[in-house]
Amino acid sequence: MSDSDLRSRIAPVLGRIPSGVYILVAGDGKERRTGLLTSWVQQASFDPPQVTIAVNKSRYLIDWLKEGSPVTLNQVAKGDKTLFRQFSKGFDPDADAFQGLDVVPANNGLVALSSALATMEGTVCGQMDAGDHRILLVTITDAVVHQDLSQAEGFVHVRKNGFGY
């Protein structure tokens, strides 16, 4: 079987792995901060509470995400096209990624998105290479609920092709 035949068999199956949609917020340790759309987030530990987040190595933000770096992870609510559209386009390092959005200060010095379903604050505590992505291990240090969790659901993304966004 050729590589292209194998990829064509794997692509539709791999793409059907459902994942939540989140906005990852990070800063450069100085004054800049930005956000990016991420859907490869998974709980990794109960105690301490930890998640893994996959970030494409081509994103400049990856250089800001060192061990000890604070992050916020904002869960996008089902049907929220505003956050999805705003952050799916990506931003230059000096652009205001949060223009036009309601944000509140997070305890870790970053921001939480008020229109998100909820926000988790955390600290990067480890990472590893995974092909074209880097997997971050983040210890969750706080959480804020922005919407009634009994009435709202998280945005779930399923791709048609497992080899691209």
Six-digit token pair at 151?
Answer: 């009435």
pTM, two decimal places: 0.93
> Can you tell me the distance from the alpha carbon of 108 to that of 33, in angstroms, rounded to the nearest whole number?
12
User: What is the CATH class of 20-157?
Assistant: mainly beta
- The per-residue b/e assignment along 38-50, b for 16 or more CB within 10 angstroms, e otherwise, is bbbbeebeeeeeb
pLDDT at 126: 97
The mean pLDDT values, 10 residues at a time, for the chain of 165 residues are: 84 91 94 93 97 95 95 96 90 91 96 97 97 97 95 91 82
pLDDT at 101: 95
pLDDT at 162: 87
